[in-house]
Structure 1
Amino acid sequence: MIKVKLGTATAAFQCEGNLKTDNRGKCVWDDVLLDDKSIAKYNPEPASEFYTKYDEDFRLAKEYGIEVLRVSIPWSRIFPKNAKDVNKKAVDHYHRFFKKMLEYGITPNVTLHHFDSPQWFVEKGDFLSRNNVDDFLYFARFCFEEFTEIYYWSTINEINAYSEQKNIKAALPPFFNLEYGHFFKQQYNMVIAHAKTVIMFKENKYKGEIGVPANVCPFQPIDNKPESISASNRANAITNWSFLEPITSGEFSKETIGLINDVLKNYDFIFKPQEEDLKIIKKAAEIIDWIGINYYFTTFVEKPDDKFEFEVNTTGEKGKSKFSVPWLWKVVKKDGVKTTNWDWNIYPDGLAIVVDWVSNKYNCKKPIFITENGFGDLEDIKNTPFIKDIDRINYIQDHFDVIQKLNDKGENIQHYYLWSHMDMFSWTNGYNKRYGLFYVDFENQKRYEKLSSYWWLEKSKQNRLDEKINIDELLKKIGKN
């Protein structure tokens, strides 16, 4: 029986703060988040001050049963000015950082790109330009050869979501809105960058394992009407299959390319992967060590109507999210399915859909890591001195049940990373959307255990993820009843 390693996840820009420390260079978010064109409009300083408080956060990880921890190395700290000039202060910092983590017995899983292209790279066109891929490969090679203490590497976090922020949601330069032609061009280049990184890692026989964290939000038809099924297929092809296929199977299916181009005819753009690229993608898929799945929710859709509605919920006020685009699909509410304050459907069975895609639809038999999964909420320690985050506990346990059931049936899910380790800065929600296993008071940077922290410690002692913990007994045990 597989005993899943339990871990938590972070992203450097969302938790480090210290944006001017140790000669750090700007990344794509620095100026944007202070610019009215941004959908976020929040200041990313000081975040959780992870750059200086990592010792305390590693101690909490050790104390509460965390075995593995996802972190990222910010490209803009290592190469702050250009592709080749190394910032030694940052390099020395991360050696100390990893040394301390390993001393606590926590295994790092290190991401090379987590939504944070350096500003100089952005000014060259970011991944929208194929010519820039070599810059990323240089950074990756440097990290592999410099940080030999690392065993688990992740290439690019959520390839589709980063391209979406820039080209669909107008959250990052060049602030395109529903520009699917640019979305696919950039996503394709990022898939190539990922694939070449995997090949380089394996050909140079660097120590350890390498994978990719893929954000997958399955779309399901609201009913059995052919037009609803067609809308869900279109949505999945655009949002999920277009990058999940190449990283798992090493190819693009005719069905997916057909559905993509049916949409792209509205943008005067045709998606046609090149033969030489397909060879690279195929090779990487064959030699990659594991596939990461970032799963939070499932979306229900039907045939779009003529009314155009597109609004992203960035406040936590239920019911604000809207999506109905005449040539795409319409998002609808499914009766009986609860949602978070951000209108995300709480639907653990969607994780099983994604795993089935990877293992069966694309016949990828690589180990699977659940690299992100979590529950964002509105929490304030001033109003509630002890955060009894029972909704978060129930969310995690329901997904644990699905994972255990899948492994019992023969799947190979080896790691689970809760998003997030501590409360952090959110790209589009600032500091009001909290995911952390540990509460952070952003005014004084103090850490506080939530009920989920104690619950997690008990889970870490169990052999099966579907074993239950009595919350009333847990509250009595920790003196919080």
Structure 2
Amino acid sequence: MRASWISFAALAVAIQAQEVYLTTTGYSARPQCTQSNVAPNYHFNPFSYTLDETVRMRYATSVPSPTTTRKYGPPYTDAIKHLITSWSTSTWGCWIPEQTIISATDTEDPYGQAAWSSMWLQADLHNYTTTGLFSTTVSPTPVPSSELVLPPRDYFGPIDCYNFPKDSVFGVAGSAAQVEGAIGLDGRSPSLLEKLVPDSKPKDYITNENYFLYKQDIQRLAVMGVEYYSFTIPWTRILPFALPGTPINQQAIDHYNDLIDTVLDAGMTPIVTMLHFDSPLMFVANDNITKRPDVGYNNAGYQNETFVDAFVNYGKVYRVPLWVTFNEPLLYAYNFKGVDHVVKAHAEVYHFYHDTLKATGKIGIKFNDNFGVPKDPKNFSHILAADRFQEMQLGIFANPIFLGKQYPKSVLKTLPGAKPLSKSELKHIRNTSDFFGIDPYTATIVPPANEGIKACAINLSSSNVLFPYCVKQETKNIYGWNIGYRSESYVYITPTHFREYLYYLWNTFRHPILVGEFGFPVYAEAERELSDQLFDSPRSIYYISFMSEILKSIYEDGVYVMGALAWSFVDNWEFGDYAQQFGIQAVNRTTQQRHYKKSFFDLVDFVKSRQLHKD
């Protein structure tokens, strides 16, 4: 039985009242943690309308630019010296169908314009648009004060007496694939996502044009008081041909140098993820792609042994204080071989970063796992089903990386081609993450398969739709109630399960926990008038309840939670869908104008009013 099923009542400690001086005028002014027994004094007074719209405003000034953050790493011009390459930096321009490939005359150059363009031909884009409104970096303009007037408060607010530790990491997150657009511009080569999404769905060609609007986006975050900004840098921009020995894209080096400097100048700390679903197309393509035979590339996707070396080579370019190798690898490492490559590639990058570079920042990996809770906690078969669910989603990566333990038996006995790691491999992989990154959006009700787990899993060629997990994933508890308040997507508001999950992760994998993403797409939000989209109380409830449970987890359960990053800093492209709006800013898809939502103010003010002053 897992430790997570122990009653939290046995862990609870008395809450000590704290008197905190609040400088914010926003949502989060808290009542004192005391109750009065004084009898009421009923009386009459003259009536007047007092509930006028008093302006409560957040001032548009960000934290002063830090002078010490830059010590975490060299500029890209120095960092790229670590990459394995016999080629200098280069540029390729933009992919414009019917033009670029025709104009390329360097057909003998294996990494020239013609070779780069041929990759885009293999991507086979449909209804491709090269740019939206912009074609160059847009200079930022000041955020008008009218956008910083605080929204009306919700009637109920959190009642707690805890503060976040001084070193807590709190901010917002996004990914290049979902906000940048400009996919075929400035030397970027195609990724998995250009092939994966069906033609009937919206594509990633333009999205939020953050590639050109990043300065304005960063300024909008800074004036709201955001301290950490998590983003991704596409492998396909830095190394368009992906593999060691291939040229580096100078335009990408210049762009991300400036993006990181812009984040630092805004007073924020950058967090970078290396791979967020946007694997280079050559590692996952289904079509034949002709490459130089001497670089070892073949068309076997993550089965290809060159993937590990290529990813490690790509990882040598990073220069930020906090970064992530793989985001939710379970979703694109489609088989055991892919999982094995992810585990080994992550470990190699970790050792390079700490052992070779002697870097002092923190490097980790983060997973997706909607916490599986037994449908009937009193039924042992349901507990085993929840355990298996966690093993198949987390243990397959986390056992070797965090504990130096073998792949779970449920994985080795079920997944085709699975084989154990050797003792030397386990020793090398063990403890190769400085934190446990997790994207715990919601919880999932887990009962076993009707015929039982063993009967489902025993036949590797099983056609059972539940294979290989062999457990059900449901959204209603044993009494028929939804597990929580429902969103537009799979997310339900499940804060108490979230706290239990943090307890499980901390006591199982014994590493500091970073909540790398969490968020809530309000039901049918995209169908509403803008003013209704901006007053997003369900999202506020989601964030404030989850943040409150983080505080309880820290102080009452003894769990080390490093911090949390809200997903997403703006409504974005959710892999073929714009209706699932996870953002704390709305976006006008015609003008690309951004608008702050109520939840952004509520979340920032909740954190600010509970932060201990940093030394």
TM-score between both structures, scaled by the size of structure 1 = 0.80
1:304 to 442, 449, 462: 449
In 1, distance between residues paired with 2:197 and 2:262? 31
C-alpha displacement at 1:71, in angstroms? 0.5
SS at match of 1:135: helix
Contact in 2 for aligned 1:260/1:271 (Cα 8 Å): no
Q: Retained in 2: the 8 A contact 1:306–1:326? A: no
Structure 2 equivalent of residue 218 of structure 1: 371
Q: Given the alignment, which residue of 550, 572, 584 partners 1:403? A: 550
Give 1:467-478 correspondences, 5 Å limit: none
Query: Whole-Å Cα distance in 2 between the matches of residues 208 and 403 of structure 1?
Result: 24
Q: Deviations over 1:221-263 (max 9, x none)?
A: 111223322322222221222222223212236xx32x22343
Deviation of 1:371 after TM superposition, in Å, equals 0.9
Partner of 1:385: 531
Query: Match for residue 390 of structure 2?
Result: 236
Change (3 A) 1:380 1:358: closer
Structure 2 match to 1:114: 276
Q: How far did 1:108 drift?
A: 0.6
Instruction: Measure the CA separation in 2 of the matches of 1:346 and 1:78.
Output: 38
Q: Structure 1: which amino acid aligns with 2:267?
A: G
Quickly say closer, same or farther: Cα 1:251–1:324, change in 2 above 3 A: closer
Question: Are the structure 2 counterparts of residues 260 and 381 from structure 1 closer, same or farther at C-alpha, using a change threshold of 3 Å?
Answer: closer
Matched with 1:90 is 252
Q: 1:205 aligns with which of 358, 372, 383?
A: 358
Q: Which amino acid aligns with 2:211?
A: Y
Alpha-carbon distance, 1:22 to partner: 0.7
The alignment status of 1:417 with 2:565, answered yes or no, reads yes
CA, structure 1 residues 156+460, in 2 after alignment: closer, same or farther (shift >3 Å)?
same
Provide Cα deviations, 1:410-440, integer angstroms capped at 9, x if missing partner. 322222100111111002x511111111111
Structure 1's 116 and 425: CA in aligned 2 closer, same or farther, altered over 3 A?
A: same
* Residues 274-321 of structure 1, C-alpha deviations (whole Å, 9 max, x = no match): 333212211xx1x532221211111112122369xxxxxxxxxxxxxx
Distance 1:139 1:327, change over 3 A: closer
**Paired residue for 2:324?**
154
Structure 2 residue aligned with 1:189, among 324, 341, 364? Answer: 341
Letter in 1 for 2:326: I
Residue 394, structure 1, aligned to residue 541, structure 2? yes
Tell me, which stretches of 5 or more residues in structure 1 are unaligned?
168-181, 308-322, 466-481
- The 2-side partners of 1:280 and 1:156 are apart by 18
Give 1:130 deviation, angstroms: 3.3
2: CA distance between counterparts of 1:326 and 1:275? 26
Is the CA contact (8 Å cut-off) linking 2:516 and 2:565 kept in structure 1? Answer: yes
Residues 142-174 of structure 1, C-alpha deviations (whole Å, 9 max, x = no match): x13xxx4x21121111122322xxx3xxxxxxx
The answer on whether the counterparts of 2:526 and 2:581 sit within 8 Å (CA) in structure 1 is no
- 1:118-138 per-position Cα deviation (integer Å, ceiling 9, x unaligned): 123334434333332000111
AA in 2 matched with 1:260:
V
Picking from 391, 400, 406, the partner of 1:246 is 400
Contact conserved, 2:544 with 2:606, CA < 8 A, in 1? no
Matched, 1:273 2:421: yes
> Structure 2 vs 1, CA of residues 234 and 457 (structure 1 numbering), >3 Å: closer, same or farther?
closer
Structure 2 residue identity aligned to 1:411: V
Matches of 1:274 and 1:376, distance apart in 2 = 43
Counting helix residues as a fraction of each chain, which structure ranks higher? 1
Code of the aligned partner of 2:322: Y
> Using the alignment, how far apart are the partners of 2:466 and 2:207 within structure 1?
34
What is the number of equivalent residue pairs in this alignment? 412
Measure how far apart 1:381 and its partner are: 7.5
1:356–1:244 CA distance, 2 compared to 1 (3 A): farther
1:214 deviates by 2.1
- Inter-CA distance 193–451: structure 2 relative to 1 (3 Å threshold): same
Q: Distance in 1 between matches of 2:446 and 2:512?
A: 30
Q: Tell me if the contact between 1:299 and 1:345 (Cα under 8 Å) persists in the aligned partners.
A: no
Q: In the TM superposition, what is the alpha-carbon distance from 1:392 to its structure 2 partner?
A: 0.6
| Matching residue within 232, 242, 245 for 1:72 | 232
Cα distance in 2 for partners of 1:21, 1:96 equals: 17
1:307-348: CA deviation from partner (whole Å, max 9, x where unpaired): 9xxxxxxxxxxxxxxx75597012232144223232433212
Residue identity matched to 1:191: V
Question: How many angstroms apart in 1 are the aligned matches of 2:199 and 2:423?
Answer: 41
> Are the structure 2 counterparts of residues 59 and 347 from structure 1 closer, same or farther at C-alpha, using a change threshold of 3 Å?
same
2:506 and 2:513 in contact (8 A); partners too:
no
Q: TM-score, normalised by structure 2?
A: 0.63
When structure 1 is superposed on structure 2, of 238-247 and 82-91 the one drifting more is 238-247
Per the alignment, residue 448 of structure 1 pairs with 595
Decide whether the 8 Å contact of 1:305 with 1:326 is kept in 2: no
Residue pair 1:234, 1:260 contacting (<8 A) in 2 also = no
Q: In the alignment, what sits opposite 1:174?
A: none
Instruction: Give the Cα–Cα distance (whole angstroms) in 2 for the partners of residues 457 and 222 of structure 1.
Output: 35
Deviations 1:167-223 (A, max 9, x none): 3xxxxxxxxxxxxxx2x2211210111111111100121342212222232211111
CA distance in 1, matches of 2:238, 2:469: 43
Give SS of 1:358's match: helix
Classify the secondary structure of the residue corresponding to 1:22: coil
Structure 2 Cα separation of the partners of residues 6 and 121 of structure 1: 34
Check 1:2–1:26 CA distance in 2 against 1; reply closer, same or farther (3 A cut): same
Moved more, 125-134 or 67-76: 125-134
Q: For 1:79 and 1:227, how far apart are their aligned partners in 2?
A: 48
The aligned counterpart of 2:119 is none
- Give the AA of the match of 1:212: I
Post-superposition shift, 1:14? 0.7
- After superposition, the CA RMSD in angstroms is 2.4
What is the aligned partner in structure 2 of residue 45 from structure 1? 205
**Is the Cα contact below 8 Å between 2:186 and 2:252 reproduced in 1?**
yes
User: Residue 432 of structure 1: SS of its match in structure 2?
Assistant: coil
User: Is the 8 Å Cα contact of residues 7 and 70 (structure 1) preserved in structure 2?
Assistant: yes
Change (3 A) 1:303 1:290: closer
Write the distance in 2 (CA, Å) between the matches of 1:371 and 1:380: 25
Matched letter for residue 49 of structure 1: E
Give distance in 2, aligned partners of 1:290 and 1:274: 24
Pick the aligned partner of 1:127 from 285, 293, 302: 302
1:359-384 CA-partner distances (Å, limit 9, x unpaired): 2123x2x3321111111233238624
Task: Read off the aligned partner of 1:383 and give its amino acid letter.
Answer: E
CA contact under 8 A between 1:72 and 1:110: conserved in structure 2?
A: yes
Encode CA deviations 1:381-411: one digit per residue, 9 max, x unaligned. Answer: 8624352111111011111111101111332
Compare 62-71 and 338-347 and name the one that shifted more: 338-347
- Does residue 328 of structure 1 match 2:474? no
- Identify the residue that residue 136 of structure 2 maps to in structure 1: none
Q: Residues of 1 paired with 2:442 and 2:583: CA distance?
A: 18
Q: 2:256 corresponds to which letter in structure 1? A: Y
Residue number in structure 2 paired with 1:317:
none
Q: Structure 1 131/275 Cα, relative in aligned 2: closer, same or farther at 3 Å? A: farther
- Gap change, CA 1:343 and 1:441, over 3 Å in 2: same
Task: Report which stretch shifted further, 455-464 or 397-406.
Answer: 455-464
Find the residue that maps to 1:252 and give its secondary structure: coil
Find the counterpart in structure 2 of residue 14 from structure 1.
Answer: 178
- Cα 1:327–1:348 shift into 2, 3 Å: closer
